[in-house]
Structure 1
Amino acid sequence: MTIKLVFGRTRAKIVLFLSTLLISVFIFAHFHRALSSLQSPATAKDTSIEIVKGWQYRWGDFSVEEADAPACQENEISNSCWQQFQFPSRLRKPEDEQIVWLRVPLPTGQWKSPALYLRGVPYIIGAYLNQRLVYTEFSLNSSGKANFESYQWPIIPLGSDFQGEILLFRVYVGDYPSIYIGLFDRVTIGSQIALIKRSFEQEIDAVFGFLVTCLGLSAIFLSLIRKETKSYLRFGLFALSIGLYIISDSDLITLFLNRLIILGYLEYISFYLIPISTCLLFEEIFGVGYKSIIRYLWKINLVYAIIGLLLFATQTDTWISDIYLDQLLLLVTALILLINSIQMSMAGNWEAKLFTSGFIILALSAVHDTLVYILKPLYWYHKIHPWGTFVFILLVGLIFEYRFNQARR
């Protein structure tokens, strides 16, 4: 028995080391790419450059022929002229507006097979080069709401005389109070080879989300045929909620599901399920906690999830996003779970130590992404919470594997 326990602990340390190493390699790769974006590619034929200078916006809907209006004068605020903004940026919507136009001049450079990568702008109704439509992702129906058209490759080939051309975007905002331009991605110009590589790098998270979703579904299926029904079910719900949340925000999912409203519900439901399923998982491993605080915690999150979904369905949830209530409740939940797991770790519980290690890695990666969202740094904008989640799921899976093996002996 002692030998098996030591072996379990040793294997846990190995998994933790390898997972941390994987995260370090991933972060180093993104850091290297961020440094590369600072270098001028004017003479590099197989590189790319992020377009971050010269951005302007204008609220309201108008024809593309009217897009050549002048820029606003300093301190002038008007929908009849173009306002400058720092890219990336979160643009607050004026009342009764649903459309915002963006424009930016293309930089000069020499690239082999030049092209544009457009994923830095969300909800594109139309992208234009010199008033010529080159890309569309959404269309407006008769009631003015956006419908997803079809998945379109986000890389647009350019001719040899693109220097100085104006790139225009017609973007749908709808009922949202604001829109984030450049969140976790950038509009980029460069060689097609470099942009294809970039596109695949950006979709690695979606592949991971798909694998986690499959893991969750497998665990839920096993809960139907194994005697450890509740354990498999709670682990499966946890993995499924995280996996669905990751892929719901991915471009690849639109290859299989192109209904915007369904994707919206999928994102909201999976987001609200994450703290609930995490609390249930914690309760399954360590119990209900001091004065059943963990049980009360997931019930509070469940009530809030029902209210939040009702508000989302009736499109009256904008005040929640304005005060960051979702993030606040998620933070409180995470802190309570972390404090309880640390207390158990200090008591010598090796499972709690493993859980705490993974949870800290997950929490730090989530804090990183939150700071990127709030601070809007120019050259570092990469998401790492999927990889923090990867480490956490590995360690939790290791705990369950050990418990299942012990139960069968």
Structure 2
Amino acid sequence: MMAFTILMVTSWTLQASTSPQPLNQWEYRWGDSPPNVDGTPAWLYSDALEWQSTASPSNPPGRAGHQHLWLRTVLPEGNWSDPVLYITSIDLIGQIYLDYELIYRHGEFDDQGRGNFAGWPWHMVDLPESFSGKPMYLRIFSYYTDIGLWGEVKVMERIDVLKQIIRDSAQDLAISAIVLLLAILATIFTLFGPERRGFGSIALFAYASGLMLIAEAPARQLIASDALMWDTLRAGSYYMLPVALGLLLSHWLEGSAKRWLSQIWRLHLAYVIVAIGLVQIGTVSLSMTFPIFDALLAVTLPAMLMLALLRFPKLSLEQRLLVVSFTFFASLLMTDMLVAHGFISWRPIPLSYGTLAFSIANAAIFLWHYRRTQQTLAMTNETLELQVASRTAELDRLVDELKGLSFEDPLTGLHNRRHFNTVFDHECRRAQQDNSHLSLLMLDVDHFKLINDQFGHDAGDSVLVEIAARLRQHFQGVGVVCRFGGEEFVALLPATTADQSAEHANALLNTVSQQPLIYHEEPLGRITLSCGVAAFPSHTEEPQKLLRLADEALYQAKHSGRNRCVVWAESHHTQQFTLAPADVSIGLMTRLNRLPGSDQ
């Protein structure tokens, strides 16, 4: 690479003494020369009539299956300083003789005058000082579709050759660098962004076209001299172009065009795998894979172009730009292929321009599409965030509602037994820590079974709802009221003494007993309540026992005639176990040990 850089800098400062001289007068002869006794080809000394004139040393007329060709010409006169013979390419291998001596060979000939493909490098053949006006012979062997010398053949100063190589390569190398940079950027978008298939197709095309330009640039031989390596790279990258083109077009087009394009790029991918595989195992010559591929491409490339153009009126603006750039690139590619096979006389084809135009057009389209996609995603994300916030608020509301339902009695709207257990534990701990008063009232609707039996369960439910409403109103701001189960209610009154609790209870009982209830315009009679009161620390040093003590006091109120409030006393406890220990035990355990599913 350092030598290449030095040549680029210095070659323009050197001047040749004679301008390049093309070799235009050629004669040819089909077949291979027999050897003389000394092993030199006999045709070097023959001026037989078999030699015929031709305008070009590439593919003379009358090949008819011949694989051996001899060419001869006379080298021009000139005032040369460091003369060389420059040949663009030899199909396929050859030897050059001057003054009956072998001065250059490309490839190796066997005893039958045959040989294997050695690549398509350009050739710079050193010429002796006394070459002017002397005949030069070329022995050629080729099983390829072409035979002879391809491209330019001229005598030049060495420095002119190097200048031409650099000049002819500069554009391709610069464009290949740009295209490969696009390939790297497209690869990054493929790995980390949306539109992965589209950017992946761009990356594949950019890598293939960029590497192909490098492999075809004449300066490649100044970087590495292995001609077969460069031609293998050129074949692989060249053969991948229709795969990338098919992927790109099928990404944008729809319907039957998309299906046909998918079949085309899969066909070419299969060819790449089979052809390169056979070359690597030595079954097929690399050179013979080119004409087969070109024949296939001559069919599929116009087909891809036709499929794209038929859809042109229905395409969006960016899709039309893609098709136009593809048309430009495909036209140059087809022209280059026709020149390579001699259907058009040799001329340089600016395929690199088509590659650059198509790559930039694709990159611009996808970057614009990517920007639009990002804007859409941003708007979508904003909408989703609003929806998520709304759904979250709705979910929180539902959670609160479900939480409320789990702690609420569905009939009366009061807190249920589960909520009471939580609040009761909390208030007991606080009363102990603060050494404050805590009272518990347990209330029961008197003769509630008779109401259900006489007026029905719906009437009984209405009584419970009405009693719950009066309890809520009566103890509002004083304590927590819960439905304990069935017709039983509890009221937990923090910072309230036993006497204060009894006053609240008596006032409630008096209000309830003096306001008769009506259900569907039918009087339900006089409804009364019985109440048991227990308080901390008046009745116990352990507030957790208040529930049992209040239940004992309620039991005493029931057995004392109902419709009354009884404050717990030690005598009540003793009296209960004396009068009816079994009944008390069963009733208390029934109320205190309800299953969670019946805490209503």
TM-score by length of 1: 0.69
Q: 1:54 aligns to what?
A: 26
What is the CA-CA distance between 1:403 and the residue it aligns to?
A: 1.5
Residues 155 and 195, structure 1, Cα contact 8 Å, conserved in 2: no
Distance in 2 (CA, whole Å) between partners of 1:257 and 1:192 is 19
What is the CA-CA distance between 1:88 and the residue it aligns to?
A: 4.1
Q: 1:276 aligns to what?
A: 243
**Which residue of 51, 54, 68 maps to 2:44?**
68
Distance in 2 (CA, whole Å) between partners of 1:393 and 1:163 is 48
Secondary structure in 2 matching 1:154 = strand
Distance in 2 (CA, whole Å) between partners of 1:227 and 1:60 is 62
Tell me if 1:396 matches 2:362. yes
Residues 28 and 54, structure 2, Cα contact 8 Å, conserved in 1: yes
Between 1:243-252 and 1:101-110, the stretch displaced more is: 243-252
Q: Aligned pair in 2 of structure 1 residues 178, 72: CA closer, same or farther (>3 Å)?
A: farther
What is the CA-CA distance between 1:319 and the residue it aligns to?
A: 8.8
What is the CA-CA distance between 1:68 and the residue it aligns to?
A: 1.6
Which structure 2 residues correspond to residues 346-357 of structure 1 after superposition, within 5 A?
346-347=313-314, 349-357=316-324
Residues 369 and 385, structure 1, Cα contact 8 Å, conserved in 2: yes
Secondary structure in 2 matching 1:90 = coil
- 2:367 partner letter: E
What is the CA-CA distance between 1:383 and the residue it aligns to?
A: 2.3
Secondary structure in 2 matching 1:107 = coil
Secondary structure in 2 matching 1:121 = strand
Distance in 1 (CA, whole Å) between partners of 2:70 and 2:365 is 51
Q: 1:33 aligns to what?
A: none
Residues 212 and 238, structure 2, Cα contact 8 Å, conserved in 1: yes
**Which residue of 56, 66, 71 maps to 1:102?**
71
Distance in 2 (CA, whole Å) between partners of 1:239 and 1:351 is 19
Q: Aligned pair in 2 of structure 1 residues 64, 355: CA closer, same or farther (>3 Å)?
A: farther
What is the CA-CA distance between 1:89 and the residue it aligns to?
A: 2.2
Q: Aligned pair in 2 of structure 1 residues 306, 104: CA closer, same or farther (>3 Å)?
A: same
Q: Aligned pair in 2 of structure 1 residues 297, 119: CA closer, same or farther (>3 Å)?
A: closer
Distance in 2 (CA, whole Å) between partners of 1:142 and 1:221 is 54
Q: Aligned pair in 2 of structure 1 residues 89, 225: CA closer, same or farther (>3 Å)?
A: same
1:272-327 superposed Cα distances (whole Å, 9 cap, x missing partner): 32111110011223346546222222223333444444565522899987xx6533
Q: 2:196 aligns to what?
A: 229
Structure 2: 5+ residue runs without aligned partners?
Answer: 1-15, 376-600
Distance in 2 (CA, whole Å) between partners of 1:115 and 1:51 is 13
Q: Aligned pair in 2 of structure 1 residues 407, 153: CA closer, same or farther (>3 Å)?
A: same
Q: 2:152 aligns to what?
A: 186
Distance in 2 (CA, whole Å) between partners of 1:191 and 1:258 is 21
Distance in 2 (CA, whole Å) between partners of 1:248 and 1:93 is 32
Q: 1:31 aligns to what?
A: none
Secondary structure in 2 matching 1:382 = coil
Q: Aligned pair in 2 of structure 1 residues 311, 191: CA closer, same or farther (>3 Å)?
A: closer
- 2:355 partner letter: T
Residues 214 and 240, structure 1, Cα contact 8 Å, conserved in 2: no
Residues 97 and 137, structure 2, Cα contact 8 Å, conserved in 1: yes
Q: 1:330 aligns to what?
A: 297
- 2:55 partner letter: Q
Which structure 2 residues correspond to residues 2-401 of structure 1 after superposition, within 5 A?
45-57=17-29, 59-60=31-32, 62=35, 63-64=39-40, 66-73=42-49, 76=50, 82=51, 84-90=53-59, 92=63, 100-110=69-79, 113-123=82-92, 126-139=95-108, 145-146=115-116, 154=124, 156=126, 158-159=128-129, 161-173=130-142, 176-183=143-150, 185-204=151-170, 206-207=172-173, 210-211=176-177, 212-213=179-180, 215-217=182-184, 219-220=186-187, 222-255=189-222, 262-287=229-254, 289-290=256-257, 292-309=259-276, 314-315=283-284, 326-347=293-314, 349-373=316-340, 381-401=347-367
Distance in 1 (CA, whole Å) between partners of 2:180 and 2:361 is 17
Secondary structure in 1 matching 2:304 = helix
In the TM superposition, structure 1's runs of 4+ consecutive aligned residues that sit over 6 Å from their partners are 141-144, 316-321
Distance in 2 (CA, whole Å) between partners of 1:200 and 1:122 is 23
What is the CA-CA distance between 1:330 and the residue it aligns to?
A: 1.8
| Same amino acid, percent of matched pairs | 21
Distance in 2 (CA, whole Å) between partners of 1:166 and 1:263 is 33
Distance in 1 (CA, whole Å) between partners of 2:107 and 2:181 is 29
Secondary structure in 2 matching 1:87 = coil
Secondary structure in 1 matching 2:59 = strand
Q: Aligned pair in 2 of structure 1 residues 206, 66: CA closer, same or farther (>3 Å)?
A: farther
Distance in 2 (CA, whole Å) between partners of 1:258 and 1:146 is 18
RMSD (CA atoms): 4.0
What is the CA-CA distance between 1:236 and the residue it aligns to?
A: 1.2
Residues 101 and 169, structure 1, Cα contact 8 Å, conserved in 2: yes
Between 1:212-221 and 1:359-368, the stretch displaced more is: 212-221
Looking at CA atoms only, which structure, 1 or 2, has the larger radius of gyration?
Answer: 2
Distance in 1 (CA, whole Å) between partners of 2:347 and 2:116 is 27
Distance in 1 (CA, whole Å) between partners of 2:139 and 2:82 is 26
- 2:236 partner letter: I
Distance in 2 (CA, whole Å) between partners of 1:121 and 1:278 is 31
Secondary structure in 2 matching 1:395 = helix
Distance in 2 (CA, whole Å) between partners of 1:284 and 1:351 is 13
Q: Aligned pair in 2 of structure 1 residues 206, 167: CA closer, same or farther (>3 Å)?
A: farther
Distance in 1 (CA, whole Å) between partners of 2:184 and 2:115 is 33
Structure 1: 5+ residue runs without aligned partners?
Answer: 1-43, 77-81
Q: Aligned pair in 2 of structure 1 residues 180, 100: CA closer, same or farther (>3 Å)?
A: closer
Q: Aligned pair in 2 of structure 1 residues 332, 205: CA closer, same or farther (>3 Å)?
A: farther
Q: Aligned pair in 2 of structure 1 residues 64, 361: CA closer, same or farther (>3 Å)?
A: farther
- 2:349 partner letter: K
Q: 1:26 aligns to what?
A: none
What is the CA-CA distance between 1:48 and the residue it aligns to?
A: 1.6
Between 1:109-118 and 1:392-401, the stretch displaced more is: 109-118
